[in-house]
């Protein structure tokens, strides 16, 4: 019992946890959860909503807490030992979930309650919980015979191992590549801040010169500003080769196996394909509807994308006499053209986006919209000194949530940005048990001479993840499995994407966009240019997102006789391709969203949510971007409700109508 993970704790006791604590704690927590399940399944009482459905929702509390800590660290602060533990415990967790889902006595009780649903007087939330639990069983094999159940278990254990391996291979290839520059001329074009960061990185690795890596804060500035085309090519090709090299990190077989096993799993459960299985529980409902949605947007965006590409290629040829525009030229010439068209240099904007000011800004916006106050505190344990912690309260002084924020890259932290939680909100014994929410990003660290200054893209990233965090923090439901971001995948991006809109508004920018040296507010002509340039190359950006969505749908639509990952991908990209193909590159082998994360047959949801967010923000703009009444409706019908009702019903209650794609097309400048 000296294991801190097995003690009762409110916030995670990071400082007390050692790596050797995880395996015994998870083993013990699985035992406890199994005992809880057995007592529900073997109860002699007649199955009721309370003793079966509610009891099941509360099951596995300790296991959830421990695994949320572990898997968050595996993403944000991993090492070889943690990765080894992840490999060991993942099959156990799969097996535990399968044993629960395939527990015939337990399912019998859930089914008994579900069968009498029409005679019970349930609230919409209770009704949703009952449906969700019944489907958790039926969609995961509860209606299968014993042989089929065994087959399902095997498939799930394999899939769990494969997706872990996939992620580790991508991370290994990311970490294995370094571009050490010893001739300063090779850094021509690079902003001073990026040079300093590269110098610092080299020093940390005890190397002479400047170090460029595949981590985004290092990679993006180099691809955007470095004049040396050969080095841009080297970096771009390395980024595109992740998981597609002749080394131990090759992911081609992992991709083919994952796709094959997902398809077999769907067939076993009575679905036509993995996409049919996934989409049954999404707002979109069917693959046909998704493909129709993607192809409709493609038809509208493609002419604009092709015009933009031709214009960019002509510009690049005129400027530097290059023979053909390649992938490693896109960001570089786009930035130059953007600067010429809008006289807007990302480097000019960065001094106005000091990280601390942007954090204060997003907090102030949350205060004006939702009456939230954020106070930085130092009495919570963290897993790294970079992590900041806050106590969140409402205008009455009531406690709302704890909030953790981890902003800077380091070895052992995966690329990108994400929101996660250490504890979900729920009501226990009539007490509203508040959540613990975290966001993780990868923004440039402060240097000796400069604070952390964000690009405008990084500002929108912070707002995006904070939007997810608000969804978690403002949760106000009875049951943890319906709380916060526990909503269908194509609805989960609405709160995050809608919040990005405030970054483009004068009223919002004036709150936080202040020069880090002079304190001067961002000049309004910059704000105007940010707005004008927001639709710059929107056709190409839309095409890129649609290409990922269509690739995802191709992988999961039921075709499994695939021999070449690269050939299959080329075929899927056929209608969306602008740049020449790079033979040694492959997107799928590092497409972590769909082969490691939860976006399989769901990548379309980014665009789907853009339609929702554009339509929702249009409503705010009609009434005022800080309009309390609209903000309250958004909080009451979307942010606080989690997955307690069908998402379209919640959206219509907020908006008064279904979303219309016109708002997105108008914002993106794609309407003729």
Amino acid 305: pLDDT: 95
pLDDT on residue 660? 82
Residue 216 structure tokens: 């985004």
For the purposes of burial, counting CB atoms within 10 Å of the CB of 489, is it exposed (0-12), middle (13-18) or buried (19 or more)? buried
For residues 470 and 304, give the distance between their C-alpha atoms in angstroms, rounded to a whole number: 35
- Sequence-separated (6 or more) residues with CB below 8 Å from residue 268: 141, 144, 148, 151, 152, 155
φ/ψ (deg, to 5) at 181: -110, 125
- Residue 247 is assigned to a structural domain of this protein: no
- pLDDT exceeds cutoff 80 at 418: yes
Question: Distance between CA 199 and CA 183 in Å, rounded?
Answer: 12
* Cα–Cα distance for residue pair 353/351, rounded to 1 Å: 6
Residue 475 CA to residue 13 CA, distance in Å, equals 24
What's residue 672's pLDDT? 62
| Pair 358, 421 in one domain | yes
Number of structural domains found in the chain:
3
- pLDDT tens-place string over residues 269-285: 999 999 999 999 898 88
Residue 546 is assigned to a structural domain of this protein: no
Report the alpha-carbon distance of residue 436 to residue 664 in Å, rounded.
33
- Nearest-angstrom CA–CA distance, 554 and 552: 5
Q: Is the pLDDT of residue 214 over 90?
A: yes
Same domain, yes or no: 522 and 411: yes
Say whether both 8 and 122 belong to one domain: yes
Catalytic residue of the set 77, 465, 493, 505: 465
Q: What is the mean pLDDT of residues 186-191?
A: 96
367 and 484 together in one domain: yes
Mean pLDDT in residue range 410-419:
91
Give the other-Cβ count within 10 Å of 661's Cβ.
20
418-423 β-sheet, strand order = 372-377, 388-394, 399-406, 436-440, 418-423
- Domain range for 472 is 351-534
Of 512, 534, 556, the one marking the end of a domain is 534
Q: With respect to residue 376, please indicate whether it lies within any of the assigned structural domains.
A: yes
Picking from 134-143, 179-188, 272-281, which range would have the lowest pLDDT averaged per residue?
134-143
**Percent of all residues in the chain with a pLDDT value above 70, rounded to a whole number:** 100
Query: 390 in a domain, yes or no?
Result: yes
Residue 433 sits at φ, ψ, to 5 deg, of -85, 115
**Are residues 366 and 483 both part of a single domain?**
yes
What is the CATH classification number for the domain harbouring 105?
A: 1.20.1050.40
The answer for 556, left when phi > 0, alpha when psi is -120 to 50, beta otherwise, is alpha
Question: Do 205 and 136 sit in the same domain of this protein?
Answer: no
Same domain for 84 and 196, yes or no, is: no
Last-in-domain residue among 240, 256, 271: 240
Q: Are β-strands 426-428 and 418-423 bridged in parallel, bridged antiparallel, or unpaired? A: unpaired
Rounded to whole angstroms, the Cα distance separating 283 from 294 reads 14
Which pLDDT value is given to residue 99? 87
Q: Residue 403 in contact with residue 389, Cβ under 8 Å?
A: yes
Q: Can you tell me the distance from the alpha carbon of 660 to that of 41, in angstroms, rounded to the nearest whole number?
A: 46
190 & 133 share domain? no
Give the total residue count for the chain: 672
For the chain, what percent of residues have pLDDT higher than 90?
85
- Band of pLDDT at residue 1, cut at 50, 70 and 90: low
Query: What backbone torsions phi and psi does residue 202 show, to the nearest 5 degrees?
Result: -65, -45
Q: What is the four-CA torsion angle of 71, 77, 80, 85, rounded to 10 degrees?
A: -20
Categorize the per-residue pLDDT at 406 as very low, low, confident or very high, splitting at 50, 70 and 90: very high
Both 188 and 97 in a single domain? no
**119 lies in the same domain as 190:** no
Would you say the C-alpha torsion 131, 136, 137, 139 has a positive or negative sign? positive
Does residue 100 form part of some domain?
A: yes
Residue range 479-514, pLDDT digits in tens = 999 999 999 888 999 999 999 999 999 999 999 999
How far is residue 370 from each of residues 157, 198, 221, 363, 626, measured CA to CA in Å? 43, 40, 35, 10, 10
Given pLDDT bands bounded at 50, 70 and 90, which one contains residue 387? very high
Sign of CA dihedral 575, 578, 580, 584: negative
Q: pLDDT at position 560, please?
A: 80
Dump the DSSP string for 342-398: H---HHHHGGG-BHHHHHHHHHHHHHHHH-EEEEEES-S--SSTT-EEEEEEETT--
pLDDT per residue as tens digits for the range 6-53: 999 999 999 999 999 999 999 999 999 999 999 999 999 999 999 999
- Whether 649 sits among the annotated catalytic residues: the reply is no
Q: Is the pLDDT of residue 140 over 90?
A: no
Task: Judge whether residue 616 has pLDDT over 70.
Answer: yes
- Return the closest-CA partner of residue 492 out of 460, 469, 463: 469
519 and 387 co-located in one domain: yes
314 inside domain: no
- List, for residues 538-586, the tens digit of each pLDDT value: 999 999 999 999 999 999 998 888 999 999 999 999 999 999 999 999 9
Distance CA(15)–CA(242), nearest Å, equals 34
pLDDT digits (tens, 9 = 90+) for 524-538: 888 888 888 888 999
414 and 468 part of one domain: yes
Among residues 217, 240, 263, the one where a domain terminates is: 240
Which CATH number belongs to the domain containing residue 522 in this structure? 1.10.1370.40
Q: Quote the pLDDT of residue 534.
A: 84
Q: What is the mean pLDDT of residues 472-478?
A: 98
- Residue 553 burial (CB count, 10 A): 23
Chain segment 257-269, per-residue pLDDT in tens: 999 999 999 999 9
Please provide the average confidence, as pLDDT, over all residues in the chain.
94
Quickly list DSSP for 172-195. Answer: HHHHH-EEEE--GGGGTT--HHHH
Residue 365 lies in a domain: yes
Enclosing H/E stretch for 422: strand 418-423
Q: Using alpha carbons, select from 169, 522, 555 the residue that is nearest to residue 344.
A: 522
Strand pairing of 436-440 and 418-423?
antiparallel
Average pLDDT for residues 358-384, to the nearest whole number? Answer: 97
Answer whether residue 233 is part of any domain.
yes
């Amino acid at each position: 019992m000296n294991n801190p993970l097995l003690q009762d704790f409110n916030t995670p006791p990071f400082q007390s946890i050692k790596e050797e604590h995880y395996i015994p704690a998870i083993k013990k927590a699985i035992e406890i959860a199994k005992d809880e399940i057995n007592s529900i399944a073997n109860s002699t009482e007649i199955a009721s909503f309370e003793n079966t459905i509610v009891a099941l929702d509360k099951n596995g509390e300790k296991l959830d807490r421990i695994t949320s800590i572990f898997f968050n660290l595996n993403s944000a602060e991993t090492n070889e030992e943690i990765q080894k533990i992840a490999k060991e415990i993942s099959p156990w967790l799969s097996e535990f979930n399968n044993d629960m889902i395939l527990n015939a006595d337990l399912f019998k009780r859930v089914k008994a309650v579900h069968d009498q649903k029409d005679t019970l007087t349930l609230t919409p939330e209770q009704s949703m919980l009952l449906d969700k639990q019944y489907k958790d069983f039926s969609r995961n094999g509860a209606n299968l015979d014993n042989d089929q159940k065994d087959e399902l278990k095997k498939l799930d254990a394999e899939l769990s191992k494969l997706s872990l391996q996939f992620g580790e291979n991508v991370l290994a290839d990311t970490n294995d590549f370094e571009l050490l520059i010893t001739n300063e001329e090779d850094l021509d074009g690079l902003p001073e801040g990026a040079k300093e960061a590269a110098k610092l990185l080299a020093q940390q690795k005890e190397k002479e010169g400047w170090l460029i890596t595949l981590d985004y804060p290092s990679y993006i500035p180099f691809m955007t500003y470095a004049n040396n085309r050969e080095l841009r090519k080297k970096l771009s090709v390395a980024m595109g080769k992740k998981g597609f090299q002749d080394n131990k990190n090759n992911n081609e077989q992992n991709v083919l196996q994952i796709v094959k096993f997902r398809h077999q799993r769907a067939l076993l459960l009575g679905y036509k394909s993995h996409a049919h299985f996934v989409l049954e529980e999404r707002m979109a409902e069917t693959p046909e509807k998704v493909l129709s949605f993607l192809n409709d947007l493609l038809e509208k965006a493609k002419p604009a994308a092709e015009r933009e590409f031709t214009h960019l290629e002509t510009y690049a040829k005129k400027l530097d006499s290059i023979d053909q525009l390649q992938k490693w030229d896109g960001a570089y010439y786009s930035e130059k053209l953007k600067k010429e068209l809008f006289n807007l240099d990302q480097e000019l904007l960065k001094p106005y986006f000091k990280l601390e000011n942007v954090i204060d800004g997003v907090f102030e916006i949350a205060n004006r919209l939702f009456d939230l106050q954020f106070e930085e505190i130092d009495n919570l344990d963290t897993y790294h000194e970079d992590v900041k912690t806050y106590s969140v309260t409402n205008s009455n002084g009531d406690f709302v949530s704890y909030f953790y924020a981890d902003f800077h890259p380091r070895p052992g932290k995966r690329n990108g940005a994400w929101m996660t939680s250490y504890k979900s909100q729920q009501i226990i014994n009539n007490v509203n048990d508040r959540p613990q929410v975290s966001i993780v990003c990868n923004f440039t660290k402060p240097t000796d001479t400069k604070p952390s200054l964000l690009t405008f893209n990084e500002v929108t990233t912070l707002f995006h993840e904070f939007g997810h965090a608000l969804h978690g923090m403002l949760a106000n439901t009875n049951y943890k499995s319906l709380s916060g971001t526990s909503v269908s995948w194509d609805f989960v991006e609405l709160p995050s994407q809608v919040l990005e809109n405030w970054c483009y508004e004068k009223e919002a920018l004036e709150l936080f966009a202040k020069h880090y040296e002079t304190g001067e507010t961002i000049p309004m002509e910059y704000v105007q240019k940010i707005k004008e340039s927001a639709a710059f190359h929107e056709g190409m950006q839309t095409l890129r997102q649609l290409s990922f969505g269509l690739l995802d749908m191709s992988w999961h639509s039921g075709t499994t006789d695939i021999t070449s990952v690269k050939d299959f991908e080329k075929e899927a990209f056929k209608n969306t391709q602008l740049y020449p193909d790079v033979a040694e590159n492959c997107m799928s082998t590092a497409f972590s969203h769909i082969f490691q994360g939860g976006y399989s047959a769901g990548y379309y949801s980014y665009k789907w949510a853009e339609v929702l967010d554009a339509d929702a923000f249009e409503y705010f703009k009609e009434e005022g971007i800080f309009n309390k009444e609209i903000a309250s409706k958004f909080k009451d019908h979307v942010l606080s409700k989690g997955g307690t009702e069908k998402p379209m019903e919640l959206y219509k209650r907020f908006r008064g109508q279904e979303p219309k794609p016109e708002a997105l097309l108008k914002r993106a400048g794609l309407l003729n």
